[in-house]
Amino acid sequence: MQEIFITRHNHLIDPILGVWEWQIPIYLFLGGLVAGMMIISGYFILIGKKPNTKCSCFRMPVLGLIAISAGMFALFLDLEHKLYVWRLYTTFEWMSPMSWGAWILLLVYPILALTALIRIPEELADKYPKIKSLSSKMNEKPFLLKLSGASSMITGGILGMYTGVLLSTLQARPAWNSSMLWVLFLVSGLSSAAALVHMIGKEEEERRMLAKADNAFLILELMILVLMMIGFFTSTEAHQQAASLILGGEYTVMFWVFIVLIGIVIPLIIQLNAVNHKVQHTPIAPMMVILGGLLLRFLMVDIGQYSHWINTAFTMP
């Protein structure tokens, strides 16, 4: 399964067509976004936001089911041997990240469905009385509510970490071989999810809270990027060359302008002013955060496929 990343595409940008290969970055982005939504919705359920009908925690599981299905479909499109994907579920390989990922993704569905049962739309309840009955029984038992919230947070955390671990275990790609990559993808997923709730949330207090949380995630994301750069420049020559791709190399503009400036710094400044009541809350900043999270996946996947030990071997004097 690792051939998905190292043999099918030599480069995300086709030198002839000049277009992006999109399946894997979209899958990683949607996986991280769903992970963030699961953590946030689980947290809201745990702190007792159930009585609030406007809480986004009742909409995020449904959105999560749609997003994770779209992400898995993108991954399926990238597979070379699509008819044999079922074989992933006939065994479990402890040392295989893809095997872990296949089962983690399978676990995400029932957890999202469980949290979605807490509050179902009235039109759905009227049409399917059995679902309404299950929802009523679940709401009568506080233990089940707490369990669903905790399960959502734990599963979301594992999913968010996995999207980075999947790449970082490929040691032949220096740009991916960083112990900070899973942390970066987890925090980026949380930031994108917080931005989404900030943008579509109906409750003013909740939107302000998520804007403050997103500010913290964006600051943390900047710190992680700095630590990754330090790690690369204090490591092997191959890692240094991988880092140089965004420090004067062909990915410099995309990284510093579109990801750092537009995806992190500018929305951070806007949201800091918004939470301090200096400017009005606007959907522009959350949209920039989400775009930055998406482009981060495109950059990391592409730069990892471009950087490898062979380049270092052939460029050494």
Per-residue pLDDT at 223: 96
Per-residue pLDDT at 123: 66
Element (H, E) at 311: helix 309-315
Higher pLDDT, 1 or 104: 104
H runs (alpha helix) in 79-141: 97-116, 122-127, 129-139
* pLDDT tens-digit readout, 246-279: 988 889 999 999 999 999 999 999 999 989 888 8
Q: What is the mean pLDDT of residues 306-317?
A: 53
20 in helix, strand or coil? strand
- CA pair distance 234, 148, nearest whole angstrom: 43
CATH class of 3-315: mainly alpha
Q: Look up residue 317 and give its two tokens.
A: 């004097």
- CA pair distance 248, 257, nearest whole angstrom: 13
- Considering the entire predicted model, what is its pTM? 0.86
Q: Where are the domains of the chain?
A: 3-315
Higher pLDDT, 195 or 19: 195
Pick the closest to residue 50 from 157, 137, 131, 146 (CA basis): 146
Q: Look up residue 232 and give its two tokens.
A: 């690369």
